[in-house]
Amino acid sequence: MDPEVSFMLHCDPLQALGEHQIHVEISDRFNRQSFPEIEQHIEAVWSDRVAKQPWLFNGAKFRLHSAVLSVIEKGPMAEQAVQNLTHSPRGEGDQLESADKSSDRLAKDEQSCVLTLQLGLTCYKDYLGTNWSREAGRLQSHGQNECADPQAFLAQPLGVGAVVATADGDVVLLRRSQKVAEAAGLLDIPGGHPEPKMLCPEVSEEAICADLLQGKERAVVSEIFSSVCAEISDEVNVPISSLSKPVFMGIALNHTSAGRPSAEFYVRAL
């Protein structure tokens, strides 16, 4: 396995989650923590990047704070267990073990599970100035010392990616453009980001906040799932009508960008 990637959470192959099993909790409590020095650094990084790559533009993103896996009995039994699977780069082995044990219980005891994503708001500019910055390591140390959370001061935008299986048994890989800020020219699976703007079309990117998304939690989940198919359609030129419904496989952390999270899905080309 790529040493730059780890799992925050993964599902057993037979227990991938459908859209109805994903919930979200949206609050500004899940936003990035801040202090004046890092805000100045973010502005400096952004000005430098835009000067060198004028095609870059900012936009609102969902910030993944953590995830809660609820294992629930089918039938009259009440909820049996809750695993809090945090996004911290530390302790991924324990998180992975917990997810596997939950899957074992699901298979053996006819249980089902619901995953709740705890989301705040962030933006692409903040991502370049934190996760993708030379200061990322220092910010993680500061977060651990001040908040007991190494990711507290990082943007942590939630990405999406898809393993797309073709009808003839292949998997789609793409070569990234040379005009992107991250991993230019490298091979990748189709993916991108769910867009808060899709839920607030009349609001500027800068004005989107957690309060505006209250009551729209199911629409946020729908955007996460539909954004996967939209990215596949845009990048691979396969009509959305020719794609199966995405199923959620887990959350991967990219340590090249200081543990940036990405929800990973499986999709079949029909």
Res 209: pLDDT: 98
Residue 229, domain extent: 5-268
Which neighbouring-strand residues pair with 5?
A: 254
Whether 33 has a pLDDT exceeding 80, the answer reads: yes
Res 110: pLDDT: 52
Res 120: pLDDT: 99
Whether 21 has a pLDDT exceeding 80, the answer reads: yes
Q: Closest by alpha carbon to 150, among 88, 195, 235?
A: 88
Cα torsion for 60, 240, 115, 249, to the nearest 10°? -110
b/e map of 38-65 (b: 16 or more CB within 10 Å)? beebbeebbeebeeeeeebeeebbbbbb
Token pair recorded at residue 5: 């990637």
Res 12: pLDDT: 79
Spatial contact of 195 and 60, defined as CB atoms under 8 Å apart: yes
Count the domains in the chain.
Answer: 1
Whether 101 has a pLDDT exceeding 70, the answer reads: no
pLDDT, one tens digit per residue, over 113-166 is: 899 999 999 999 999 999 999 999 999 999 999 999 999 999 999 999 999 999
Q: Can you tell me which residue has the tokens 């324990």? A: 94
For the residues 12-25, what does the mean pLDDT come to?
A: 91
Give backbone dihedrals phi and psi of 229, rounded to 5 degrees, phi first: -65, -35
pTM: 0.88
Token pair recorded at residue 118: 């705890």
Token pair recorded at residue 103: 């899957």
Question: HEC profile for the chain?
Answer: CCCCEEEEEECCHHHCECHHHEEEEECHHHCCCCCHHHHHHHHHHHHHHHHHCCCCCCCEEEEEEEEEEEEEECCCCCEEEEEEEECCCCCHHHHHHHHHHHHHHHHHHCEEEEEEEEEEEEEHHHHHHCCCCCCHHHHHHHHHHHHCCCCCCCCCECEEEEEEECCCCCECCEECCCCCCCCCCCEECCEECCCHHHHCCCCCHHHCCHHHHCCCHHHHHHHHHHHHHHHHHHHHCCCHHHECCCEEEEEEEEHHHCCEEEEEEEEEEC
Token pair recorded at residue 215: 């009551």
- Give the residue, 73 or 196, on which the prediction is more confident: 196
